[in-house]
Amino acid sequence: MTGFAFEILARDGRARTGVIGTPRGDVRTPAFMPVGTAATVKAMLPESVRATGADVVLGNTYHLMLRPGAARVARLGGLHRFMNWDRPILTDSGGFQVMSLADLRKLTEAGVTFRSHVDGSPHMLSPETSMAIQRQVGSDIVMAFDECTPHPATRAQAEASMRLSMRWARRSRDAFGDRPGHALFGIQQGSVFEDLRAESAEALAGIGFDGYAIGGLAVGEGQAAMLRVLDFAPGQLPADKPRYLMGVGKPDDIVGAVLRGVDMFDCVLPTRSGRTGQALTRRGAVNIKNARHADDPRPLDEACGCPCCRGYSRAYLHHVFKAGEIIAAMLLTWHNLHYYQELMAGLRSAIGGGRLAAFVDGFEAVRAEGDLSSL
């Protein structure tokens, strides 16, 4: 296709399944986007990422502007060619990363000045520069520049932060311009306050975006508070556009958010866990570092069809992790991403078949069996 479009194929309660169409290929929703912050999904080849079932990956404006630099990426043919990924790429605006710099940043109406965590060099990010960088690298889905409201925040702090983000959203829209085949997503803010979230959603809809993200969650508020916000936040956003919950999350977070009408997710958890010796399975997390795995000939999960589970034992994974071998991170990351994509495929199928409630019951029943202490 030549443009960007979103089609809802089926609904089950508030949950939706559909397709985001882009010139670089379709994204099936609900979708999980593996995080490729610095133009790589850590410990994975691009073809391996695709083999897990991923339709889209995420890159990051902040990290790419610092290293290797957006201009260099552009000179080398753009981010898709640079990282050898020919399917859609979404890039975060950098707002979350500069928020996390704390004492190294200064926020004004114009934007955020900060010092690089790499070499201490000074930089400035604004709605205009964020749009320019994302254009240079050639991302398919561009995120508006915002301030990610920290948690906890008072109502007054959340209100001021949200309204600044809405002014930046307008500037992002203006700077993005008319780019057929590329999409710009706005980001809802407002912390845990329903009326502030509603004001933000109304402002974003008035500006007009191709999709809408729910920002400012998964920043320390806890799952219960996050789900309370998701009870109302997705429904405040335009129903005919994709809804993206940024930085989430754990498998049960994703299932809970899908039930509440969210379509897109990203999180570093499956890749980071793979590098730190944790496998994420249907029943919970398995810590491959534990000594009990040293003589275990079984796979991580007998029901999993990923290359890790098809070909390698827990004993081997325990050995290579303890030995510091790179293959440990590769195999565990592949397994974790496969599990996430299998979960998304299950959710899509269940929504399409009108059996989401039964799917969720089964998901929760298996997890209630525990963290596989027998594994």
Q: Which of the residues are catalytic?
A: 92, 266
For 104, the 3-state DSSP assignment is helix
Which tokens go with 168?
Answer: 């930046």
How far is the C-alpha of 322 from the C-alpha of 299, rounded, in Å? Answer: 17
- Residue spans of alpha helices (H) in 276-312: 307-311
- Please tell me what DSSP assigns to residue 35: B
Secondary structure (H, E, C), 133-201:
HHHHHCCCEEECCCCCCCCCCCHHHHHHHHHHHHHHHHHHHHHHCCCCCCEEEEEECCCCCHHHHHHHH
Sorted by sequence, the CB contacts under 8 Å of residue 83 that are 6+ apart come out as: 36, 39, 40, 46, 59
Omega prior to 249 cis, within 30 of 0: yes
